C-alpha cells in the first residue's frame, strides 16, 4: 500500500512539472489537460485503492481455473466416451461373430437334418417296397395254392366221376380198404 502512495505521489509531481503546468494557466480548472490528468490520476488511484486490479486478476484466475476444470472434465468425458465406444465395438464384433457361428451351426444342423431325413425316407421307401414285395409274394403263394386246391378239387371230382363210371362196386370197396390201410400205416 505504501508503494501505491509513493507511486501516486511521484505521478502527481511528474504531472505537475510538465510544461502544461508551467504556464500561467497551469493549475486552473479552466485548463482541460489539467482536469483530465487529475481525473485520470484520481480514477487510477481509486482503482488501485479499491484493489480492482487484484480483484480483476482473481476473477480472471477463477475464470481460467473454471475453464481448465471444464476442459479437464471434457477430456475425461471424451476418454470415457472413447472407452464406451470401444466396449460397444468389441461387443458388436463379438455379437457379429456369435451370429455368424450360430448361422453356421444352424446350416450344419439343417444339412444333418436333411441327411437324416433323406436316410429315413430311403429306409421308409425300402420298408414299403419290402412290404409290397412280401404282399406280392404272399398273394402269389395264395394264388398258386388256390389254383392247386382248385386243380386238386377238379381232379378229385373228375377222378371220382371216372372211377364211379368205370369201376364196379366190388372193386371200389377193395380200393377203399387199401386206401384205409395205407393211411393207417402212414399215420402210425
pLDDT digits (tens, 9 = 90+) for 10-55: 665 555 555 555 555 557 788 888 889 999 999 999 988 999 999 9
Instruction: Looking at mean pLDDT, say which of 95-109, 140-154, 156-170 comes out highest.
Output: 95-109
d(CA 19, CA 26): 8
Q: In this predicted model, what pLDDT tens digit does every residue of 75-90 receive, in sequence order?
A: 999 999 999 999 999 9
Q: Supply the pLDDT for residue 118.
A: 92
* Domain boundaries of the chain, sorted by first residue: 2-79
DSSP one-letter code for 28: S
Please give the model's pTM, rounded to 2 decimal places. Answer: 0.39
Q: Which of 5-9, 40-44, 148-152, 153-157 is the least confident region? A: 5-9
Residue 178 scores a pLDDT above 60? yes
- Which segment of 50-64, 116-130, 143-157, 167-181 scores lowest on mean pLDDT? 167-181
d(CA 105, CA 114): 14
Q: Coil, helix or strand for 18? A: coil
pLDDT at 70: 97
What average pLDDT does the structure give for the chain? 83
pLDDT at 188: 63
pLDDT band at 67 (very low <50, low <70, confident <90, very high): very high
Per the CB < 8 A criterion, the answer to whether 26 and 34 are in contact is yes
Q: How confident is the model at residue 145 (pLDDT cuts 50, 70, 90)?
A: confident
pLDDT bucket at 177, cuts 50 / 70 / 90: confident
For residues 37 and 15, is the Cβ–Cβ distance under 8 A?
Answer: yes
Dist CA 17 CA 34 (whole Å): 12
Amino acid at each position: 500500500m505504501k508503494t501505491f502512495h509513493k507511486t501516486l505521489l511521484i505521478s502527481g509531481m511528474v504531472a505537475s512539472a510538465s510544461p502544461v503546468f508551467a504556464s500561467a494557466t497551469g493549475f486552473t480548472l479552466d485548463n482541460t489537460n489539467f482536469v483530465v490528468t487529475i481525473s485520470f490520476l484520481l480514477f487510477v488511484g481509486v482503482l488501485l485503492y479499491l484493489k480492482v486490479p487484484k480483484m480483476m486478476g482473481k476473477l480472471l484466475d477463477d475464470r481460467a481455473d473454471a475453464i481448465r476444470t471444464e476442459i479437464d472434465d471434457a477430456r475425461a468425458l471424451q476418454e470415457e466416451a472413447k472407452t464406451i465406444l470401444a466396449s460397444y465395438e468389441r461387443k458388436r464384433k463379438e455379437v457379429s461373430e456369435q451370429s455368424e457361428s450360430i448361422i453356421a451351426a444352424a446350416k450344419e444342423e439343417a444339412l444333418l437334418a436333411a441327411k437324416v431325413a433323406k436316410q429315413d425316407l430311403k429306409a421308409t421307401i425300402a420298408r414299403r417296397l419290402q412290404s409290397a414285395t412280401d404282399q406280392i409274394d404272399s398273394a402269389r403263394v395264395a394264388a398258386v395254392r388256390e389254383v392247386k386246391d382248385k386243380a386238386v378239387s377238379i381232379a378229385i371230382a373228375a377222378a371220382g366221376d371216372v372211377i364211379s363210371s368205370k369201376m364196379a362196386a366190388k372193386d371200389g370197396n377193395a380200393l377203399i380198404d387199401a386206401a384205409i390201410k395205407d393211411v393207417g400205416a402212414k399215420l402210425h
